[in-house]
Amino acid sequence: MPYERTPPATPLLTVSGDLLVIAPRTAAPVRPAPTNPYRRLLATPGARAFTAGNLLARLPMGMFSVSAVIMIAGSRGSYALAGAVTATGLAATAVVAPWTARLVDRYGQARIAVPATAIAMLGSLALLLCVHYGAPAWTLFASYAATATTPNTGGMSRARWAHLHQGDPAALHTANSFEQAVDELCFMLGPALAALLCAALFPEAGTLVGAIMLMTGVLIFAAQRASEPPVAPRTTRSGSPLRAPGMPALLAVFLATGAVFGSMEVVTIAHAGGAILALQAAGSCVAGLLYGSLRPAGDIRRRLLGCLAGMTALMSLPLLATASADSLLALAGALLLAGAATAPTMVTGMTLVQRLTPEGRLNEGMTLAVTALLGGIAAGSAAGGWLVEHTAPVSGYAAPVCAAGLALAVAAAGVRRR
């Protein structure tokens, strides 16, 4: 067990009768260093401060779309309009987010994240006012599109861990697992908090509180300058992450993995309601924390293949549960187990993104991965919705299985090519 270094004992002058005696001072008790990998991780200087700010900023990411749907549908009486507005915001994010991340890499997190978040906050407030005062429908699209400047706070946090633990793959593995667990936690709590605020206070409360939390969290996060990664000199910056060997195939894996999440969400909501989805996120959160406490060995690309194979197998459980026994309890257990494959896959994929991304472009590389994931979620949602509407409800659960199999096939082809 490792121990913290203790300072050597210093002499202490004491008087015994007429003599001056030099006696050694008793050394302070030796305190063992934390053995829990997550306690060691958060013991990193500055880690708790930027983690707290990032958590406050990341929680609204799970609130905004739900708040917008409740707010718009309640005011305009149209879920179609609400869905179209949120889809427009997702498309705008896919275009704008990589550019925001590139600016973060070029000028630093604090200099870019704060003004970019301020623009996004103004977009949220504009949407709120347009809905409240009955502005034309096009203003809703324009307002929500402005929120696309929201920086990828999860990517910035992972970039800080990568900077603080350079050359320590074990600590970085734990950090990526911790960040994935935070993502799942926000996915569970964000929509529930948004729905509670909108129901208990007023329809615009979810958007208003989310915008304030986002801005406050980013300000706290950006204020922690000691842990901020340094900006790479312009002369040493490498090319685009898209041209890095292996990155296009990995982004295709993220695209297919996003389709797993999107199709599973829509099919489950149609079959059993949205509350049960929290079980999948809970299973992923627990699995991510357990995975982070391990020290996986071997080639990371083959480890990713193993995670994708496990995800493909476990995603078949909801299909089997609904086909064999139309029981909500069986589906709940299947979703809990299916979620257990999600976090290890995402952790391993994000670690590989960090290794493949050229120096000085880490935020951009991770944002491209998140963008691919969002694109896959949108495609998976559309495919799952079509299956639910045009086939038997049970057949919809074939979509996440097929998407997971596609991700596995793309990853296997990429490994063979290398």
Tens-place pLDDT, residues 238-263: 678 888 999 999 999 999 999 999 88
- Residue 121 confidence (pLDDT) above 80: yes
Reading the block at residue 170, the tokens are 């074990």
13: DSSP letter: E
- Rg of the chain over all Cα atoms, to the nearest angstrom: 24
Q: Given the structure tokens 């983690």, which residue do they identify?
A: 51
pLDDT band at 5 (very low <50, low <70, confident <90, very high): very low
> What one-character-per-residue DSSP string does 227-254 give?
GSPPPPPGGG----GGGSTTHHHHHHHH
Most confidently modeled range among 33-47, 69-83, 190-204, 239-253: 239-253
> Higher confidence at residue 121 or residue 415?
121
Q: In angstroms, how far is CA 202 from the centroid of its own chain?
A: 28
Q: Which domains does the chain carry?
A: 47-230 (1.20.1250.20), 238-418 (1.20.1250.20)
pLDDT by residue (tens digit) across 343-387? 999 999 999 999 999 888 889 999 999 999 988 887 888 788 888
pLDDT score, position 6: 45
pLDDT band at 236 (very low <50, low <70, confident <90, very high): low
| CB of 364 closer than 8 Å to CB of 354 | no
Most confidently modeled range among 134-138, 382-386, 407-411: 407-411
- Residue 201 confidence (pLDDT) above 70: yes
CA distance 79 to 65: 12
What residues contact 163, with CB distance under 8 A and at least 6 apart?
Answer: 227, 228, 229, 230
CA distance 250 to 240: 15
Maximum distance among all Cα pairs of the chain, rounded to whole angstroms: 101
The reported pTM is: 0.81
pLDDT band at 268 (very low <50, low <70, confident <90, very high): confident
Q: Percentage of the chain surpassing pLDDT 70?
A: 89
pLDDT score, position 352: 95
| CB of 28 closer than 8 Å to CB of 6 | yes
- Residue 318 confidence (pLDDT) above 90: yes
Average pLDDT over the chain, rounded to whole? 86
Angstrom CA distances, 375 to 315, 348, 396, stand at 20, 20, 19
Reading the block at residue 138, the tokens are 């096009």
pLDDT score, position 8: 47
- Residue 295 confidence (pLDDT) above 70: yes
CA distance 125 to 275: 28
pLDDT score, position 238: 65
Cβ-count burial of 25 within 10 angstroms (0-12 exposed, 13-18 middle, 19+ buried)? Answer: exposed
H helices then E strands: how many in the chain?
A: 16, 2
- The dihedral formed by the CA atoms of 69, 180, 403 and 258, expressed in degrees to the nearest 10: 40
Which residues are paired to 360 by β-bridges?
Answer: none
pLDDT score, position 24: 52
CA distance 374 to 255: 8
Report the pLDDT averaged over residues 29-58: 83
pLDDT band at 294 (very low <50, low <70, confident <90, very high): confident
Q: Percentage of the chain surpassing pLDDT 90?
A: 51
CA distance 106 to 22: 59
Report the pLDDT averaged over residues 386-390: 83
pLDDT band at 151 (very low <50, low <70, confident <90, very high): very high
> Which residue from 128, 124, 130, 129 is spatially nearest to 144, judged by alpha carbons?
124
Report the pLDDT averaged over residues 191-197: 85
CA distance 18 to 40: 51
pLDDT score, position 33: 55
pLDDT score, position 385: 81
Q: Looking at this protein, which amino acid is placed at residue 233?
A: P
pLDDT band at 12 (very low <50, low <70, confident <90, very high): very low
